[in-house]
Amino acid sequence: MAGITFNNVRKIYPNGVVAVQSFSMEIADREFVVLVGPSGCGKSTTLRMIAGLEDITDGELYLGDRLINDVAPKNRDISMVFQNYALYPHLTVFDNIAFGLKLRRVPRKIIRQKVEDVAKVLDLGDLLQRKPKALSGGQRQRVALGRAIVREPAAFLLDEPLSNLDANLRTQMRSEIKKLHYQLGATFVYVTHDQTEAMTMGDRLVVMKDGFIQQVDTPQNLYDHPCNLFVAGFIGSPKMNTLEAMLERRDGSLIAVFDGGELTIPASRTYDGSLDRYIGKPVILGIRPEDFHMESEHAGIANSCLISARVELSEQIGSGVYLYVKCGETQLIATLPTHGAARHGESVRLTVDCEKLYIFDKDSEEIIA
């Protein structure tokens, strides 16, 4: 087992496209790190550089203490699981799992033992003599996982392994992969564009955009303390409401005025004076949908502000309701409890927990409070 260290790693394709820029971070031994971001952000390229399937243009990449920039994939002691399983259609499940061991000329008896052990862990015992086309999507993905774990490599790389599965199976496989991580105690690097998958699985997440790391942190920290507008919008479902507002000083308080209402910034958020230079200037406000409450239920929230809005749509999700409202010309989404939620066309008065308000610089999109 080993950690992975990136030192200013860069990837530029021959056609000049910059896929990954100045990527520096340390993945600890036995850590489960998730690379997350939209399509084309460079997450898969980063993973493929660890695997050795893409050359590194610049920088250094270490597996443990070993510099692996120029080490062939087969000598890196890693294994990889692909999105579309990448199983050999002409081989049985047994032969697919045993593929790497056979290539390494492991004695037959040991191969049989190891494959059977892995099959037991992944519940594939009855399927060993089947060919991939006779398996379901979930079973195929388990075979691909089996092929990866049977070699007991130093690190596992998983490239969107659940994307081809349906929603139910994805949730099930998500927990199976997480359990596998606990059982194996190995380093996992996992790539996904699905923030729910990332939040639920990773010890730490690396949020990427346009080849740059935006923020590296635990899921909870990313949710609570996003460093910029992109991370704030990407992490959390439904995504954070963002609205343009003007900061004003009124009777000693700082007010954010937006089209359709105004919010008072609590003194606890303004005491260091970091917002003073934004007075009279436009900023971006961020409000998590779950920080809205119906006016009748706001009791107990210390610094709350009231806004009036008209309901445009409500979506039942069982445990609650997503309320799409329009406040002036500003579209907002609020997550509210089912009971007492308003219907289409009704006017509602919502309170916002202003302690949980996010304020971003309009130009740099960095968080300022």
Partner 1 sequence: MKLKEFIKRRSVRSRDSINGWIWLAPSFIGVAVFYMVPFFVIVYYSMIDNPIQGNFVFLDNFVALLQNRAFTTAAVNTLRFSLIAVPLAVILALALALLLEARIPLKSHFRTFFLSPLMVPVASIVLIWQVLFHFDGAINEFLLRFGVDRLDWLQSEHNQLVVVVLFLWKNLGYNMILFMAALSNIPRELLEVADVEGAGPLYKLFAVKLRYLSPTMLFVTILSLINSFKVFREAYLLTGNYPYGGLYMLQHFMNNIFRALDYQRLASAAVIMAVAMVIIIAVLFIIENRYGKDVEG
The residues binding partner 1 (CB under 8 A) are: 51-53, 72-74, 76, 78-80, 82, 84, 86, 88-90, 99-100, 103-104, 131, 133, 147, 151
Judged by CB, which is closer to partner 1: 144, or 287? 144
Shortest CB 49 distance to partner 1, Å: 13
Tokens, residue 306? 């009231």
Longest dimension (CA), the chain: 82
User: Least distance in Å: CB of 73 to partner 1?
Assistant: 4
Least Å from the CB of residue 100 to partner 1: 4
- Residue number with CB closer to partner 1 (82 or 322): 82
In whole angstroms, the minimum distance from the beta carbon of 82 to partner 1 comes to 5
Of 185, 162, 163, the C-alpha closest to 175 is: 162
Q: Select 54 or 295, whichever has its Cβ closest to partner 1.
A: 54
CB of 101 to partner 1, least distance (A): 9
Q: Select 25 or 86, whichever has its Cβ closest to partner 1.
A: 86
Residue whose CB is less far from partner 1, 77 or 361: 77
Cα–Cα distance between 97 and 101 in angstroms, integer?
Answer: 8
The contacts of residue 84 (CB under 8 Å, 6+ apart) are 164
CB-nearer residue toward partner 1: 134 or 306: 134
63 token code pair:
């597996």
Give the DSSP letter of residue 85: -
Alpha helices (H) along 85-228 = 93-103, 108-121, 137-149, 167-184, 195-201, 219-224
Nearer to partner 1, 142 or 147 (CB): 147
252: its two tokens: 């000693």
DSSP string of 249-306?
Answer: EETTEEEEEETTEEEEEPHHHHTT-TTGGGBTSEEEEEE-GGGEEEGGG-TT-SSEEE
Q: Shortest distance, CB of residue 58 to partner 1, whole angstroms?
A: 20
Q: Token match 């950690």: residue?
A: 3
Question: H-helix or E-strand containing 312?
Answer: strand 304-316
Closest approach of partner 1 to the CB of residue 80, in Å: 5
